[in-house]
Structure 1
Amino acid sequence: MLPNPLTTPAALHRAETQWPDGIAIVDNQWGEPVSLTWPQLADRVREFAAGLIKIGVAPGDRVALWAPNSFHWPIAALAVHYAGGVLVPLNTRYTTSEATDIVDRAGAKVVIVSGEFAGINRLDEVLATTIPTGRTIISVPLETSADGDGVLTWDALMGSATDELIGQARARAEAVAADDLSDILFTSGTTGVPKGVMAEHQQTVHGAHAWGSNGGLSSTDRYLMVNPFFHTFGYKAGILPCLLLGTTMYPLAVYSPTKAMETVAAEGITVFPGAPTIFQTILDDPDRTNHDLSSLRLIVTGATIVPVVLIERLQSDLGVETVVTAYGQTETSGFITTCRPNDDAVTVATTCGRAFDGMEVKLSEQGEVLTRGLMVMRGYLDNPEATAETIDSDGWLHTGDIGVLDENGNLKITDRLKDMYICGGFNVYPAEVEQVLSRLPGVTEVAVIGVPDERLGEVGKAFLTVQSDATIEPAAVIAYAREHLANFKAPRTVEILDAFPRNASGKILKREMS
């Protein structure tokens, strides 16, 4: 069954009509608890969209959103769509230099940014950069109110909505077409230059509907959202399936096993997706038996290797009826293959399942995983060459991953054509890290690989050669990386080499380093 409608504004209109008494979101993180029905959420979205129109956001304009998981995020994101705009989510772990690059390249006219949260005031950081130049900055109130000069507060924006502006917003929403851009999510390539993945509403909605339908989501489900909203796992496999299927959202900004278990027990959470490490911390928590987790019916995991014993323990120790794994890329809105609810533990743990409804998967002669279908991106922002290299003339997207297909069509990823590794569920592209470390004075050459890590799956290890007169300490290299890169990209260990192993053509042999 295919989704209808195929835009998020139309889906919001349907949600407020179909579930007039249904709870859309519950957020107890910021003092006064917030609980919104679908009609109430829709009203907030319309008010925010009206405010965006008032400050000059036109159809097709890009709006960046840099904030943690809270009730503000889906309101702002859906309002951008409602006003006809294009959403540009920013990773909350970005440094300001990384965020500035993304905002500039996306051509964002507006940046929505959080104030003080978890010891970091992103608003203050943004105001100290070039980001505000020629742009409107909107502050998201979280733990504290930290609004500076030239900043439009959340409440002020919402309060600027008039009946006339709300009417204009409704007209904008009705005009959004299935093939309009919904968002641009940035993902690094092997060249180390971040690429903007352009997704249309129909691609985004198809994927979200397929994911939610596979999990049997409904208006009786309660979804604990620990996956960050800026990521496809939190946005397109989180917010949007709930919008399409009437599921209640419970955002969690900072994960801890205790907070997650308390929320599951107190709120009767039924759906809990996350990286394998999240569930490992819960299973190993000595206080687990003191929390009633019996309401959980569906756990969805992936993004890295999943031990068979983890799947078995989730079913036996937690009593979760359905555990599934999935595989995707930003270029496919996060959706390529998935296990089905009736798959056995070995299939779930050792494969990525079969193609999502609306997608096809095959292997090239070299064993590369190719996919095409309803969720494949329009292309890379301002990069037709990279688009042509990734999507061939027959519409097959080349994933850069090597895999095998079993007799039932289940995909197993065995290697990567690219050097990308996954740290704590986040893709890390060594070339980007290498470019940053190459700027460190005294460094002559850099190679970065992923090495196994019990907690995060993989972490970075950097190998450097340095000038003969240079003295570089590994701790200084790591500190430099953390200053210029998001934490998950920074290598955890550094090794100084006299020379790199190379092949006959002079290329560094990463496979010989560990």
Structure 2
Amino acid sequence: MPRLLADAAAKHRENLAVVDGDLRVSYRELADMVFRTARAYIASGVRPGDRVAVWAPNRIEFMLAMLGAQSAGACVVPINTRYRGQEAAVILGRSRASVLVFAGGFLGKDFSAMLRDAVAPEARPGETGPVPGLPALKTLVDITADSSAAHTLAWPDFLSRADQISPQQGAETAEAVAPEDVCDIMFTSGTTGVPKGVMSAHRQTVGVARVWATGAELSPADNYAIVNPFFHGFGYKAGMIAALEAGSTIYPLATFDVDQVLSLISAAGISVLPGAPTIFTSLLDHPRLPEFDLGSLRFAIAGAATVPESLFQRMRDELGFETVAQAYGLTECVVATQSRPNEDPAHVAETTGPAVPGIEIRVVDAEQKSVPVGQDGEILLRGDNVMLGYFEDEDATRAAIDSEGWFHTGDVGRLDEHGCLKITDRIKDMFIVGGFNVYPAEVENTLGAHPDVSESAVVGIPDARLGTVACAYVVPRRGARPTPEDIIAFCRTRLANFKVPSKVVLIDELPKNASGKIMKADLRGGTPTG
């Protein structure tokens, strides 16, 4: 990572690297700022192999905190900004992070207070450190503060520590970072149990970025609006690092606001805007969409969730993207497949593309035998950019990666005759209706073809006769007023009867996490009000 940044600074020098509000930073300036941050870490006692956690939204300080730590030889642990204190404390405790860089007050939350409140019951008498109960955590840094508070360094005060370390020592530390060193530990969301820390080496994080940048044909001419959170692989590796690899200009967005994004596209000439499907449906449904100049839009990937096939045509026709692609990945392998350049748009809508360079794919049945083309099975991945393993969890690593090196994703899909992958669903989301398997993504794709449906999510709900039936939560398109009966009738003409939702709930919006993924666990827990 430090080599990638140094090479980018040498190649692109005065080209804009980051535009964050009124702040405009060139590639040369960015490299200088990152390596100064690295020296501040070294002065704070961070040593190669230590863990540094970053709990902040998309902004240039997040980039400096992450890249600076990696240039000091540390391993970065990104934390979801929507997490509460207990969730963050679990990750900090399990990773034994020695430094936490956070954004105090983001979304109206006092991060440090939440953290202390969460671990206070575990605090032991006589324990030292800024957060009793987290003994490994030695330094707290608030990137939003101008002056130091109790137990916390303000960002300027933290950076001033760099003066204690010579530029030569900083350069030697950065040069000593090796491709096989652990670069980051990204903890999974924990929807199926305790979060696991996914470890990637520097060569893998850089490799993912290069694969994505090549597939997107990124260049220094691109203005890349990054809505996907930096704490997520999509915003981090396929976002921040891919842009730095290509010499593109990064426009970080701390939150997704439809008006802000549309205004930015018009004002800054944004050309690249990937994201979860909900980002694009929100743009499409904006009542003043025709008032904005979107002529600069060139490339988008709709990923990080199941994508309604009808969305791609609307993104081209109504938003004006020249190229709309799909990709498939997960925390353990951030980019596994990607649509090929100049692919037939109809084929792009149906598949996530072939395996990217360095990755192999198998689709297997319950006996781990490869299934024929066109048949559903579990997706297995193997290759350069599959994770090193789970941090300090050999049992979980062995359960996920078999003796031949295949990572078992838990996703269901099929390969077509071109070697392109279609995602059917998550194994854990599949439910059984009267003995028949139902994959929600298939039903959601059908709902997405309804002219009055903007978004949908399908879950299984208990049924006295069949055990489980489908329930669809539907967000109507702006101005439309479909009835549940209309939608069910529409599905009956397109789906087998056991797949047709028995219940349709019309709601204003679906519950989503910070990455834009629909939180189906919330839907299974009850019926949200519309």
Tell me whether the two structures share a fold, i.e. TM-score over 0.5.
yes
- 1:84-105 CA distances to partner (integer Å, 9 max, x unpaired)? 0000000111111010001000
C-alpha change, 1:15 and 1:163, in structure 2 (3 Å) is: farther
In 1, Cα distance between equivalents of 2:280 and 2:352: 18
- 1:22-46 CA distances to partner (integer Å, 9 max, x unpaired)? 1110001xxxx21111111111111
C-alpha change, 1:330 and 1:380, in structure 2 (3 Å) is: same
Q: Would you say the 8 A contact 1:362–1:370 is kept in 2? A: yes
TM-score when scaled to structure 2? 0.77
Q: Within 5 A, what are the aligned runs for 1:80-159? A: 80-130=69-119, 132-133=131-132, 134=135, 135-142=137-144, 147-159=148-160
SS of corresponding position for 1:361 = strand
Q: CA deviation at 1:163?
A: 7.0
Q: Quick one: which amino acid aligns to residue 141 of structure 2?
A: S
In 2, Cα distance between equivalents of 1:353 and 1:449: 32
C-alpha change, 1:185 and 1:359, in structure 2 (3 Å) is: same
1:406 maps onto 2:407 in alignment: no
SS of corresponding position for 1:138 = strand
Q: CA deviation at 1:309?
A: 2.5
Partner residue in 2 for 1:22: 15
Q: Quick one: which amino acid aligns to residue 132 of structure 1?
A: V
- 1:401-457 CA distances to partner (integer Å, 9 max, x unpaired)? 12111000111122333349999xxxx9x9xxxxxxxxxxxxxxxx9999644459x
Q: Quick one: which amino acid aligns to residue 395 of structure 2?
A: E
In 1, Cα distance between equivalents of 2:351 and 2:518: 29
C-alpha change, 1:238 and 1:450, in structure 2 (3 Å) is: farther
Q: Quick one: which amino acid aligns to residue 38 of structure 1?
A: Y
1:389 maps onto 2:399 in alignment: yes
Partner residue in 2 for 1:42: 31
More displaced, 310-319 or 159-168?
A: 159-168
Partner residue in 2 for 1:289: 290
Q: CA deviation at 1:391?
A: 1.0
Partner residue in 2 for 1:315: 316
C-alpha change, 1:490 and 1:140, in structure 2 (3 Å) is: farther
The one of 366, 370, 373 aligned to 2:380: 370
Partner residue in 1 for 2:354: 354
In 2, Cα distance between equivalents of 1:141 and 1:50: 17
Q: CA deviation at 1:140?
A: 3.4
Q: Within 5 A, what are the aligned runs for 1:75-474? A: 75-130=64-119, 132-133=131-132, 134=135, 135-142=137-144, 147-162=148-163, 164-188=165-189, 192-332=193-333, 334-366=334-366, 367-419=377-429, 452-454=472-474
SS of corresponding position for 1:336 = strand
C-alpha change, 1:400 and 1:249, in structure 2 (3 Å) is: same
Q: CA deviation at 1:345?
A: 2.6
- What value does the CA root-mean-square deviation take over the aligned residues? 2.8
Q: CA deviation at 1:204?
A: 1.1
More displaced, 54-63 or 110-119?
A: 110-119
C-alpha change, 1:347 and 1:147, in structure 2 (3 Å) is: farther
More displaced, 385-394 or 245-254?
A: 385-394
1:58 maps onto 2:33 in alignment: no
SS of corresponding position for 1:160 = helix
In 2, Cα distance between equivalents of 1:494 and 1:365: 30
In 2, Cα distance between equivalents of 1:190 and 1:118: 23
Q: Would you say the 8 A contact 2:86–2:115 is kept in 1? A: no
Q: Would you say the 8 A contact 2:142–2:152 is kept in 1? A: no
Q: Would you say the 8 A contact 2:243–2:250 is kept in 1? A: yes
Q: Would you say the 8 A contact 2:51–2:74 is kept in 1? A: yes
- 1:101-146 CA distances to partner (integer Å, 9 max, x unpaired)? 010001101111111122222233234444723423433344x658
SS of corresponding position for 2:335 = coil
C-alpha change, 1:288 and 1:351, in structure 2 (3 Å) is: same
SS of corresponding position for 2:332 = helix
Q: Would you say the 8 A contact 1:115–1:147 is kept in 2? A: no
Q: Would you say the 8 A contact 1:306–1:350 is kept in 2? A: no
Q: CA deviation at 1:262?
A: 0.4
1:10 maps onto 2:3 in alignment: yes
C-alpha change, 1:52 and 1:451, in structure 2 (3 Å) is: farther
Partner residue in 2 for 1:461: none
C-alpha change, 1:285 and 1:174, in structure 2 (3 Å) is: same
In 1, Cα distance between equivalents of 2:361 and 2:27: 36
In 2, Cα distance between equivalents of 1:324 and 1:398: 25
Where in structure 2 are there 5+ consecutive unaligned residues? 120-129, 367-376, 431-439, 445-456, 460-466, 477-512
Q: CA deviation at 1:286?
A: 1.5
Q: Would you say the 8 A contact 1:9–1:174 is kept in 2? A: yes
Partner residue in 1 for 2:453: none
Q: Would you say the 8 A contact 1:51–1:157 is kept in 2? A: yes
In 2, Cα distance between equivalents of 1:304 and 1:452: 17
Partner residue in 2 for 1:491: 522
Q: Quick one: which amino acid aligns to residue 140 of structure 1?
A: D
In 2, Cα distance between equivalents of 1:490 and 1:121: 26
C-alpha change, 1:96 and 1:448, in structure 2 (3 Å) is: farther
Q: Quick one: which amino acid aligns to residue 283 of structure 2?
A: I
In 2, Cα distance between equivalents of 1:320 and 1:164: 47
Q: Quick one: which amino acid aligns to residue 388 of structure 2?
A: R
Q: CA deviation at 1:385?
A: 1.4
Name which structure has the greater RCO, CA cutoff 8 Å, separation 6+.
1
Q: CA deviation at 1:157?
A: 1.1
C-alpha change, 1:449 and 1:53, in structure 2 (3 Å) is: farther
Q: Quick one: which amino acid aligns to residue 16 of structure 1?
A: A
Aligned residue pairs total 434
Q: Would you say the 8 A contact 2:6–2:31 is kept in 1? A: yes
Q: CA deviation at 1:191?
A: 5.1
Where in structure 1 are there 5+ consecutive unaligned residues? 1-7, 431-446, 457-481, 497-514
Q: Would you say the 8 A contact 2:84–2:114 is kept in 1? A: no
Q: Would you say the 8 A contact 1:222–1:270 is kept in 2? A: yes
TM-score when scaled to structure 1? 0.79
Q: CA deviation at 1:188?
A: 4.5
In 2, Cα distance between equivalents of 1:303 and 1:453: 19
